[in-house]
Amino acid sequence: MGRLASAIAENEPVTMLAGTEHHVLARKLCGPHVTLVDIPTDDMWARDTGPVFIRNNAGRLAATDFNFNGWGNKQQHRNDGHVAASIAAQRGCKYFQATIVGEGGGLEYDGDGTLILTDSCWVNSNRNPGLSRKEIETELRASLGVEKVIWLPGVRGQDITDGHIDGAIRIVRPGMLMTGGYPGDTSEWAQVLQESRKILAKATDARGRSFEMVDIPSAVDVRSTRYDFFTGYANYYVGNGAIYTPQFGDRPADAQAHAALQQLYPDRKIITLNVDRIYENGGGIHCVTQQEPAV
């Protein structure tokens, strides 16, 4: 985390959440250019515990809280359940609390009216019991101001998130998607990803555009020996002037991912980092970050 925060801080302001008792260590790990704030957490997944920031037509900032509940009460969240509200208070921006439960990692938005997400983590009794897809979509439209919602199946119960979209499919820009899977994979994950690609191939976005998809295969020959090590490249962070993405030690796969991302983001530098410790815990760079738009 410290290596990642320090790298991002070279290009944009970075704020790190930590209880004050951890600030000495955090300062040592993050360096002098990361701002530390006293917001206690249970874990590091700011994409899910933090708010989803929105702006109105006048450019004023607000924070939407999707009521983090430990990915369906799978994990302790005594502190994490308050992170979104605490960040909104710390930033001094308007705060909205949604009527549904979900996480930022379960949302992909193109900035032009289109939202992509999975059934598996939103239409799920561990988050939104008794609510239909239509009811959840209505709340998402109201909370985020989106115009079109595209639903993909996702995978239930195979990971703590119930199949977050940001592990496999990312919106590069309106009409352009990046997808990622394992070469030769025949698992449930692979089957659902293939089904998702078919749905997206037939779909159009809020402006009537069809989707172009670029696949970046996941790494296979990696440093870590953890059986559940997450080795996909989709979970990158888009920063000011840079893309932050992992390198796993699989030289051909790392090089291919770097080249593909550079083509997708020609106006940004591709910064690759060894952040195995983050990925060994089941998430990635996108999962531990949450961007705040400029106002």
5: pLDDT strictly greater than 90: yes
Are residues 157 and 235 located together in one domain of the fold?
yes
Please state, in angstroms and rounded to a whole number, the distance separating the CA atoms of residues 263 and 150.
Answer: 26
Domain shared by 13 and 74, yes or no: no
In a domain? residue 289:
no
- The pLDDT of residue 63: 97
Structural domain span for residue 105: 43-279
**What pLDDT, in 10s, does the model give residues 229-282?**
889 999 999 999 999 999 999 999 999 999 999 999 999 999 999 999 999 998
Q: Are residues 30 and 122 in the same domain?
A: no
Report if residue 284 sits inside a domain.
no
Residues 150 and 34 reside in one and the same domain: no
**Same domain for 114 and 226:** yes
Task: Say whether both 30 and 138 belong to one domain.
Answer: no
33 and 52 fall within a common domain: no
Residues 34 and 119 in one domain: no
Residues 162 and 115 in one domain: yes
Q: Does residue 291 form part of some domain?
A: no
Task: Please indicate, yes or no, whether residues 1 and 70 belong to a single structural domain of this protein.
Answer: no
What pLDDT, in 10s, does the model give residues 155-203? 999 999 999 999 999 999 999 999 998 888 899 999 999 999 999 999 9
Give the bridge partners for 237, in sequence order. Answer: 244
Domain match, 8 and 66 both: no
Show which residues are catalytic.
Answer: 287
Domain membership of residue 115 (yes or no) is yes
Contact 18/66 with Cβ under 8 angstroms?
A: no
Cα–Cα distance for residue pair 9/6, rounded to 1 Å: 5
Res 51 pLDDT > 90: yes
Share of the chain above pLDDT 70, in %: 100
Looking at residue 183, its pLDDT comes to 82
Give start and end residues of each alpha helix (H) in the chain: 2-9, 23-30, 46-49, 70-73, 83-91, 119-122, 133-144, 188-202, 251-264, 276-279
- Could you tell me how far CA 104 lies from the centroid of its own chain? 6
Token pair, residue 163, equals 């199949």
Count the domains in the chain. 2
Give the CA angle between residues 280, 259, 255 to the nearest 5°.
50
